[in-house]
Amino acid sequence: MLNKSALNYCKNIRKKIIFSIYYARSGHVGPSLSCVELIYSILKLGINYKKKNRNKFVLSKGHAAPTLYATLDEFNLLKKNELKTLRKVKSRLQGHPDKKKLNLVDTGTGALGQGLSISIGYSLGSKLLNSNNKIFCLLGDGEIQEGQIWESAMYIGAHNLKNIIVFIDGNKFQNERSIAETLPEKNLLKKWESFGFKTMRINGHSLIAIEKIIKSFLKSKNKKPILVYCDTIKGKGVSFMENNNKFHSVKDLSEENYRKAISELS
């Protein structure tokens, strides 16, 4: 069960994100910080890495790989000091998840829009094997402008793939500018509902809200696939990064900003 210590875990994960990107000299810091509670909760509650045939997690917004790696490190699943190798040649921790290099990763992602299609494959495979596995997919709110997302949503709804739950990291920004400037999300939940999803909207930083949804998904016999829109803050946890799209991706996180960020998180 998640408790107050989970808040400390999430704070540690944020520090590890900053740490790894600082040593890599590049990385997507803003969109990594916005989905910490989501990835922590999914891996903690939904994924048992000791099982060979287990639930799957597809990080479709693959540029948030530093959050996945930091969380795995927090769970003692990476090698000592491996976070220092982020984005290095031959490292298991590539800039986007690479299944061939790190077997804890369920699929390689990076080209946005593909993760939900891969989730369909896992869902159908689970049904063929009668394994009853659950499939977790995390999308970015900018990513859902990709047409492939809606093709996948149509398929999932038409075939009622009830073992899929989709989370949208709604941090309101993408690489270039805000979502409101590029493609405003009007009636977004109704669109997903029209494709056959049960939808809900939560605070994406609320561990209690996320835990409740994941536990219900794992235990209940769902009648529909689930879509959860999560209101999040880009750069969450570091004041000068929050809602500051300058920190979507950094080529060289300065020592001053690194120390300020770590100080705030400490």
pLDDT of 4 strictly over 70: no
pLDDT score at 1: 52
The mean-pLDDT minimum among 34-38, 129-133, 150-154 falls in 129-133
Q: What is the mean pLDDT of residues 94-112?
A: 96
Taking phi over 0 as left and psi of -120 to 50 as alpha, with beta for the rest, 36 belongs to alpha
Q: How confident is the model at residue 3 (pLDDT cuts 50, 70, 90)?
A: low
Q: What is the pLDDT of residues 15-26, one digit of tens each?
A: 999 999 999 999
For 134-167, what is the HEC assignment? Answer: CEEEEEECCHHHCHHHHHHHHHHHHCCCCCEEEE
Q: What is the mean pLDDT of residues 68-86?
A: 98
Provide the residue ranges of all domains of the chain, joining segments of one domain with +: 4-265
pLDDT of 132 strictly over 70: yes
pLDDT score at 61: 98
What is the average pLDDT value for the chain, to the nearest integer?
Answer: 96
Looking at the domain covering 4-265, what would its CATH class be?
alpha beta
Q: Estimate the crossing angle of helix 4-24 against helix 255-265, to 10 degrees.
A: 170
The mean-pLDDT minimum among 77-81, 141-145, 220-224 falls in 220-224
Q: What is the mean pLDDT of residues 163-188?
A: 94
Q: What is the mean pLDDT of residues 215-227?
A: 93
14 with 264: CB under 8 angstroms? no
CA-CA-CA-CA dihedral for 238, 89, 80, 2, to nearest 10: 40
Q: How far is CA 16 from the centre of its chain?
A: 16
